[in-house]
Amino acid sequence: MPLDEFALIQRYFSRPISPDQGIVLGIGDDGAVLKLPSNEQIVVSTDTLIEGVHFPAQADPEKIAGRALRVNLSDLAAMGARPCWFLLALTLPDVDENWLTDFSSGLSSVAEEFACPLVGGDTTRGQLSITITVIGSSPAGAVLTRSGAQAGDAIWVTGSLGDAGGGLAIMEGRAIEAGHDDLLTRFWRPSPRIREGLILRNIASAAIDISDGLLADLGHIIKASDVGAEVNIDLLPQSSSLIDAVGKVTATSWALGAGDDYELCFTVAPNNAAALDKQIVEGLLMATHIGQIVAEGRLICKDTGGCVRDFPVAGYQHF
């Protein structure tokens, strides 16, 4: 007999609650009841992943689930928030218990890694789609936003850029020969920079996570902050694996334009430069200085020689 909706939720999504996670009432009632420490504010964000749009049809359900939660956690990282809980709205074409077993195991392993338990959701029938809502917290007034950058601030990025674009190219059979599994891993298992976001809360003037490509997402910072930016394309952090796979020119264009890396792009005012340096020297933060915020409201790419370089990259647009 096929599993009914409630048995499905019970079997695949209900997990024991640990007492220290602020869950007064979890999965099973009409709503969850959650509790934050008294001086904290809620930071909430939601993202939908649709089969065929955000991941290939027939992809491994464990990977889909892990990626879905990771990309949502990345939004909390960009706000400098600590993850607390998440909700899952799942639309399934049918009840496939093997699929659900792998999906729920992928989901709960990431939930455990980031101490962010599932506290509710919705389950419906239709084309496969996954909507996750993450709930995080931050001390009142301490969040990072897109709007705080000022002329003279340095622009930084965590990690390396373009790798997930390489992973996507492999899956789509473009550009890359077999044998670059680390690039595929960067697409499927992006690292939400939660720890970095918490550190940057006291250091950065603005931050965003790079989901649509550096130029598109840094573009959001300069628009929200009403400033301009100059990026030195010779400073972009790129993995040796990506350069091996596609060469320097393509790697640079993907570092600027391909999305899905979920690194943080952030800006730092001169008076916080030393504090940032200290975090980097102590190995608490891996980040690269790639440019400067300027007063004039445009985004310009230059090389080290100072030549302006054109990269016609708009980032991914759904409509």
Chain positions contacting ligand ADP, by CB under 6 A: 9, 13, 27-30, 88, 90, 118, 120-123
Which C-beta is closer to ligand ADP: that of 51 or that of 244? 51
Stated length of the chain? 319
**Whole-angstrom Cα distance, residue 290 to residue 157?**
7
Count of residues near Mg ion by CB under 5 A: 1
User: Is residue 30 part of the contact set for Mg ion (CB under 5 A)?
Assistant: yes
Which C-beta is closer to Mg ion: that of 28 or that of 56? 28
Which C-beta is closer to Mg ion: that of 89 or that of 235? 89
CB contact set of 316 (below 8 Å; sequence gap of 6+):
212, 213, 216, 259
Parallel/antiparallel/unpaired status of strands 228-232 and 154-158: unpaired
DSSP label at residue 16: P
- Tell me how many degrees the CA angle 312-315-175 measures, rounded to the nearest 5: 75
**Whole-angstrom Cα distance, residue 172 to residue 258?**
14
Work out how close the CB of 31 gets to ligand ADP at its nearest, in angstroms, rounded to a whole number.
7
Which of ligand ADP, Mg ion, none does 9 bind, CB closer than 5 to 8 A by kind?
ligand ADP
Which C-beta is closer to Mg ion: that of 132 or that of 214? 132
φ, ψ (nearest 5 deg) of residue 225: -95, -10
Which C-beta is closer to Mg ion: that of 28 or that of 179? 28
User: Is residue 29 part of the contact set for Mg ion (CB under 5 A)?
Assistant: no
Q: Which residue is nearest to Mg ion (CB)?
A: 30
Which C-beta is closer to ligand ADP: that of 26 or that of 257? 26
User: Is residue 282 part of the contact set for Mg ion (CB under 5 A)?
Assistant: no
* Residue 189 near residue 70 (C-beta atoms within 8 A): yes
**Whole-angstrom Cα distance, residue 147 to residue 23?**
33
Which of Mg ion, ligand ADP, none does 117 bind, CB closer than 5 to 8 A by kind?
none
Work out how close the CB of 122 gets to Mg ion at its nearest, in angstroms, rounded to a whole number.
8
DSSP label at residue 64: H
Sign of CA dihedral 158, 162, 165, 166: negative
Work out how close the CB of 20 gets to ligand ADP at its nearest, in angstroms, rounded to a whole number.
20
Work out how close the CB of 250 gets to ligand ADP at its nearest, in angstroms, rounded to a whole number.
40
Which of ligand ADP, Mg ion, none does 168 bind, CB closer than 5 to 8 A by kind?
none
